[in-house]
Amino acid sequence: MEVLGAEDRPEWDDHAVASQFRLRTRFPGPALAEAEAFGPPGAAERRGRRDLRGQLTFTIDPEDARDHDDALSVGAAGPDRWEVGIHIADVSHYVASGSALDREAERRGTSVYLPGGVVPMLPEKLSADLCSLRPDLDRLALSAVVTLDARGELHACRFEQTVIRSRYRLAYGQVQEALEGRTLLPRDLQQALESLRLLARALRSRRLALGALELEVPEVKAWVDASGRQARVERRPHLESHELIEEFMLLANRCVGGEGAQRRGGLLYRIHEAPAEPKLAELDLMLRALGLPRLGHPLDPARALQSVLRAPLDPKRRRLIHRLVLRALMRARYLDRDRGHFGLATRGYCHFTSPIRRYPDLHNHRRVREWILGRPSAAWDPDALQRLAERCSATEQNATEAEREAVKVKGMRVLEARLGEEASGIITGFVPQGFFVELDDDPVEGFVRVAHVLDDHFRLDLAGVRMTGQRTRRRFSLGDPVRVIIARVDVPARECDLGLWVPERRRGRRHHGRG
């Protein structure tokens, strides 16, 4: 039992979500003591590492990021060749296997990002300071150094223990403006970004040609002030600057996973199995009922889904079709052996690039360090690895649900101030009692009890995508635009009731009977 504070005080929202999902918000004393014992890397820590502090290296992250796991560098490596350094914070240098820090990080499994701040996997001394690749500071890294050509073909990859010094901390929006010519950056930095964009585009083209899926599901971000009061809730646009970072992180993950597959042992793989046939059949039934492009190529699920995702549609229907495809896919998870990644159309894939915030990445860093040093740090137990994969999958899912719940709470707070207002939105789902609507301006979902509004009995079709009134024959379909009124908001219950906006009907001329 915890006493958090008054439920109408927004500053307690994150605490309530953390309690609801049993997030570990306090570090035990031994873990904090281990973290505090570390200092900035000096000559002893740099010994035996490749010194890359003279290279132009930079990070690209969201504008509000506090931990910086990864940095990039790029340089010419011969005619039509580039050498790209993908530098990942060397958390394994500080967090030894079996230590108090390691035990606590494994229990947490992942950092959890709530609107008012982060519940970190590691103490702040490491997550926001010594392990974070902050600019103008010496930092220890494990680097995947790859050689690529202009077509995105990988010619070589090696792993190194390095020491780097990031020169710039860049935000996605800032990089996007530079790539579009709307912001002027230092010449060497601009050239590096343009070279990386060229290579990222080539890598992306190769992935899609192999059958990788290109899903567009906008991230919803809740912004709050220093006291936890909600400022706004918005959909974050997906920019080419995001894709630039994504491609090199995916490449590093594939390089580590591929090497681990050859060495046969010790890695935690990220697997994503192909969708089950009943799920694809259900998706095709929904697409047919909605008059949307249907699945072709029944023997090739990846190609069938790609064709649907590439269909030319208006933005709202495009968002709908991408959501429907996402619902049909299996959930990605961790496993002690490689079973391939359907969504990325690849085998030998693992997580390596975010060891500050994900435990599987930290585990895999230890395997990479063993490869570099040429000796195992300890024997690994296959049964223990399987159990670790299950725990990491569970903590990841719990964190995802907590983050969604926290954003939902802030969305409800925003709608509280709009009670009685009209709004537009699209229908996102049905249950027998009514349908859910996601609002356009504030991406928050509410529920319409349609029978209460239209005084009719509505039936849901077999595909679950359309509702029809028996008396009025009024129809509502998935993806339909609707006008609603924000009728009731209950933040503690996480409920928002919407009234269906019905324009006042014109009164017809009265006809009187004879006699």
* Same domain membership, residue 482 and residue 426: yes
In a domain, 236, yes or no: yes
* Same domain membership, residue 481 and residue 356: no
Lookup result for tokens 């009265």: 510
Query: What is d(CA 51, CA 450) in angstroms, rounded to the nearest whole number?
Result: 66
* Same domain membership, residue 452 and residue 362: no
* Same domain membership, residue 39 and residue 153: yes
Lookup result for tokens 């492009």: 293
* Same domain membership, residue 491 and residue 357: no
Instruction: Count how many domains the chain has.
Output: 2
In a domain, 108, yes or no: yes
In a domain, 23, yes or no: yes
In a domain, 407, yes or no: no
Q: Both tokens of residue 170?
A: 């860049």
Which contacts qualify for 74-82: CB closer than 8 Å, 24 or more apart?
74/192, 74/195, 74/196, 74/199, 77/147, 80/149, 80/150, 81/147, 81/148, 81/149, 81/155, 82/147, 82/148, 82/149, 82/195, 82/199
By DSSP bridging, strand 495-500 and strand 445-448 are: parallel
How far is residue 466 from each of residues 295, 428, 445, measured CA to CA in Å?
A: 20, 11, 18
Query: What is d(CA 433, CA 448) in angstroms, rounded to the nearest whole number?
Result: 8
In a domain, 152, yes or no: yes
Lookup result for tokens 């192999």: 210
* Same domain membership, residue 132 and residue 218: yes
Q: Both tokens of residue 271?
A: 């697997």
Q: What is the CATH number of the domain that holds 493?
A: 2.40.50.140
* Same domain membership, residue 238 and residue 107: yes
* Same domain membership, residue 126 and residue 18: yes
Q: Closest Cα to residue 198, out of 249, 243, 237, 146?
A: 243
CB 451 within 8 A of CB 470: no
Phi, psi (5° rounding) for residue 343? -65, -30
Domain boundary among 340, 371, 402: 371
Domain housing 354: 10-261+348-371
* Same domain membership, residue 65 and residue 208: yes
* Same domain membership, residue 137 and residue 66: yes
In a domain, 307, yes or no: no
* Same domain membership, residue 473 and residue 364: no
In a domain, 392, yes or no: no
Q: Closest Cα to residue 113, out of 400, 387, 472, 428?
A: 400
* Same domain membership, residue 209 and residue 69: yes
Residue type for position 71: A
In a domain, 485, yes or no: yes
Encode the chain (515 residues) as per-residue pLDDT tens digits.
Answer: 677 777 778 889 999 999 999 999 999 999 999 999 999 999 999 999 999 999 999 999 999 888 999 999 999 998 999 999 999 999 999 999 999 999 999 999 999 999 999 999 999 999 999 999 999 999 999 999 999 999 999 999 999 999 999 999 999 999 999 999 999 899 999 999 999 999 999 999 999 999 999 988 888 999 998 888 878 899 888 899 999 999 999 999 999 999 999 987 789 999 999 999 999 999 999 999 998 888 876 678 888 999 899 888 888 888 889 999 999 999 999 999 999 999 999 999 999 999 999 999 999 999 999 999 987 765 678 899 999 999 999 999 999 999 999 999 999 999 999 999 999 999 999 999 999 999 999 999 999 998 777 788 899 999 999 999 988 888 999 999 999 999 999 999 999 999 988 765 533 433 333 33
